[in-house]
Structure 1
Amino acid sequence: MTKKRVYEIARDLGIPSKDLLEALVALGMPGLRAVSTVTDEEADLIREFFRERVPPTPSEAPAEAKAPPKPRGTPRPPVVAVLGHIDHGKTTLLDAIRKAHVAEGEAGGITQSIGAYQVSVHERLITFIDTPGHRAFTAMRARGAQVTDIAILVVAADDGVMAQTLEAVDHIKAAGVPMIVAINKMDKPGANKDRVLQDLAKLGYTPEEWGGTTVTVPVSALTGQGVDELLEMILLVADMEGIYGDPEGKLEATIIESNLDPTRGPLATVVVKNGTLRERDVLVAGSTWGRVRALLDHRGARVAAAGPGTPVQILGLDGVPPAGEAVERIENPNEARRIAAERARASMEERRAVRAPKTFEELIQIAQTKKLVVVLKAASTGALDAAKHELGTLKADGVELELLHAGVGPITESDVLLAAAEEEGQPLVVGFAVRVDGKAARLAEQRNIPVRTYDIIYDLTQDVGRALRRLLGPEYREVKVGEAEVLQTFDIEGVGRVAGCSVRAGRVVRGGRVKAFRNGEEVFVGEIASLKRFTDDVREVQAGRECGIRIRDWNDVRPGDTLEIYTVEEVLV
């Protein structure tokens, strides 16, 4: 008995998978998913039932019938990134997709790499970002750019989930995009798909075939097995997510790659998410601007315009913008030049103002959030498990600790970028018995991300615990430093009332806090505005001496009042 997947039936009927799934609920078949399989008899029943429910065509519809609501734009090609462990076949899989599904009209194949390309599947396009790894994937998000719509996680069937696989999962989770797992190397003798499914389930990603929601597709990048199904899954997820773009809407595009060509000048690859980018458009990207001289597609061919979901290379900017910069269309070239110049000045001033990275103490004092987000690296899996367990015991009412990523190995650029991309909490990168590589240290300094390493786990948990508690705000206590008696008062025009005092105990300090008591009752609490010894301004006056005290915003001080002087100190935890 043959079986058919639900999304294949939807394709046969020419309808979106989500519409078919809604109809199946009415048919009494809840719980099915787009990748679920049904028998031939069930498939025939579904087709017959759904055809009966299809509304009449526009020519058959009653004149008074209301038109359906207009969707927000039209479906556009989804933008896909591929991540995974270094040896699990990401590049080979991308090559297999590219060779088997080059977009129509690409005689001779792809002639140049612009960091992105498109493939054609069932007369629909998919845009792939050819990122070199997790660092590039997160670098764009660290600048506020969410370019990717769907992420493909590649896991080798003969290896299972590895350290970099976990890192990739954390990056995808932080980006908040749907994930499809491609179980690669199914052609190898040691391939074990069930092992991969078990590893995913342990991470909390239960596969759909086990009743969960994680889409998995067995593939072989070498033989081409499952590649077509993987592409169909991408289109299916795109349909379920409702990925739209309006060609006539406001331009939304992001730089994904840029370089300085010795003959053509600055080149920038962008992915258009909304609107249409055209030749002769005046653009601003960060502190660069220019008029588009030419647009080149992923084949190197010149095009007049690029619509939603399309990658294209821009010639005409006056500089090389960094990846992740948003591209804005400006009507007036002079205005574009002014905006770019202002941003350049602001960037220069910001760089001048940048000092050394925040110290750990500064971090815990200035944090205004109620969430501490930690990237943790350790020398081994045993050390990592121990550190994770200890961090899991830390508690502070009203404050959340989130372990954004935990991995084995030195602290790298990727770890710092992942922390820098965090928007909801205060990021912190910590290492247990590991080093910080040079590039990561320089990036942490540029991004002002605190990074600390420890050789003793107690020190790590103690410091992270302090940071967690301090997110609630520092605690203060009053410390009494002296006491004075008011002997007489003087009213000075333009200044106010000054109290001539004798310091009975301790010392009086300028700027200190003061509590005034009269007949044993507290009558005022304030601050010392000025402190004089004869006619000289002084910082403090010791016991046994006389001084003149002016209390800020209080002119009712009287002879016989007792002034208690105190300071406010932060309670260290």
Structure 2
Amino acid sequence: MSKLVKLFSQTLRDTRFLPISQRFSDCCRKNSRSNKLVLPAIYNKTLSANIHTTCVFHKRRKTADERKKSFILEYPPKAKGDLVDVWKNITVSELAQILQKDINYVEDIFLNKIRGGNTIITNEKDLRDAIKRSGRRMRIIVRPANEDEVEDKDVYPRPAAKANDLKPRPPVVTVMGHVDHGKTTLLDALRKTNVVSQEFGGITQHIGAFSVSLENGKNVTFLDTPGHAAFTAMRERGASITDIVVLVVAADDGVMEQTLESIRMAKQANVPILVAINKIDAPNADIDRTKRMLVEAGIQVESMGGDIQAVPISALKQQNLDQLTEALVIQAELLNVMADPTGLVEAVIVESKVDIHRGKLCTVIVQRGILKKGSILLCGTTMAKVRTIKDAEGRIISEVSPGYPAELDGWKDLPSAGEVVLEVENEKQAKSALRAREAKKQIEKQMQDAEIISAKEQQHLREYREKLQHKRSLGRYKLKPEGPRKPEIEKVDGPPTLSVIVKCDVDGTLEAVLNILDTYNEPGCELDLVHYNVGAITESDIELAKTFKSIIYAFNVKCPERFEALAAENDVTIKHHNVIYKLVDDIKREINARLPTMEVEEIIGEAAVLQQFNISKGKKSVPVAGCRCTKGLLRRSALYKLIRHNSVLHEGHLASMRHLKDEVDVIKKDLECGLQLASKDIQFQPGDILVCFEKKIQHQNTEWDPGF
């Protein structure tokens, strides 16, 4: 029998998951005449007689000896050469390469518990058992070097350009500062436009990119950033892609909270600062005080011995704007901003949005190369074939040079603001790069999931061992289920929930709204963000709101009339807002409406106990407190607390309130009275305090403070 196993061990090992008869048919050939299984001619004919017997043993398994022989045939002995090297967090495809099998084979030896070539194997025991099923042994080693990995088909920015390829480009200037200090008004004065009149609430809520031609003929690309506290990410994004920061400070307000934040961002990005002291025509303007505040904030202005220019202006009345532009041009010339206009395009997304007519749009600033119609662009995990290019005024242009902004369409999916845009040569390369990026994201996600799974496994094992040790200490060596079987879906009576769906006009505003909602952490009412997206309200949004009983918040986006009617039919509430702090106030009101009411005590008055009197009622002696009203007034129908040494001894109603010999309903301040509690077991002492109060039902208000 051992000789038979030795002859067929390798064949049986590779086909160990097949029935015994099928495995013999694989290593034997059929006789066409007799239709019987026979061994190949190279094997000893005397062994063929054992084949039928062995198959019968495998089927019957009646005796221990027969079962032992069948087990040996089923699980052949391991050879020394069957050792395989694996490593922690190995993937299914990597294990298939090591075993020199396909992925289906690996899934089979894992009993289909793990599927997919990119799946990471985290459980060492499952890995050991699977390799044992394949007839091999496992040895854990360090992950080898990445020499044999698949070629990375992702695309990356090009190396730095040579000095000969650099050409002058317009500087990118970001206007930053506190809210309502006149940033957009300054840009309107430079552009000869009136953008500020079109803004809701008088504040900028988007990041805008404009190309301005100054009076001296120089072109400058301006970025207008919001000053509101909610748009911190926009300001930070603007500071990171700019060459010069123009810090607008109002002469009447001075340095404010967002001013300090803008200074910090500019210094963090290592960008030179030019200060514009605005609103010098305001009645309370104080330029010297503003300069002193700037020095205290770390901005050393020239007039106070520093090296940063501070130009007093009035953007509303267009005063000293020529001095500001001259200082700006000088600063740009000192920086000598250059770019490489050759080769593939590299750009940065400033803002992105969805247009109902043109589709997915984004505003970019070109940093390298010349962007043209038909270019294949890659951004994150989406791509675009540029259909049209428009400038800040909405005019269609054919190409965009470095340093200029432009609005593009043709994106498959909406890219996120702040991401890098790279041009590729063709769509095939773009799709290969997208697949590579998606694979990287999937691996990163699996690694994160593996860490979470490992932590939960360790926690479960630790709890199991603690329970097991406790049971053994009681003399029980098996863990039994505690109580009846729990239902698979448990109903939890938790706090009320406000479910919301957020729709915004641009990606930057959506980012700001989501950052605000992330600051909510109140236990009284849960805030459930069901869905969020950029663009107008769709039918799927209404269906989702109906399912989750959500409120749709539409920020500066419209809802078609047919969807308004559909929402009304399904009792779905749609709330439109165009100012971010009004949206936050509305969410606060909805939270307050869902908070449960609370019972509060309203103190009406207090009385000091002077002495205890005992009166007879029938055969019982009843204690009465002789008191004087020291605060407010005392009411017969109210509740009373007896306080002694700052401890509440009793709480309840009165049985009697008398002034002299008369039963009264109210005792005013400084009057003496006799108070008898409904409970006749309470004894009074001089110095006790009786507090008169009423219980009222009061609505709660959320303490959520988003920071503005």
Identify the TM-score tier after normalising by the shorter chain: 0.3 to 0.5
Structure number with bigger Rg: 2
User: If the length of structure 1 is used for normalisation, what is the TM-score?
Assistant: 0.46
User: Which has the bigger relative contact order, CA under 8 A and spacing at least 6?
Assistant: 1
Please report the TM-score for the alignment, with normalisation by the length of structure 2.
0.38
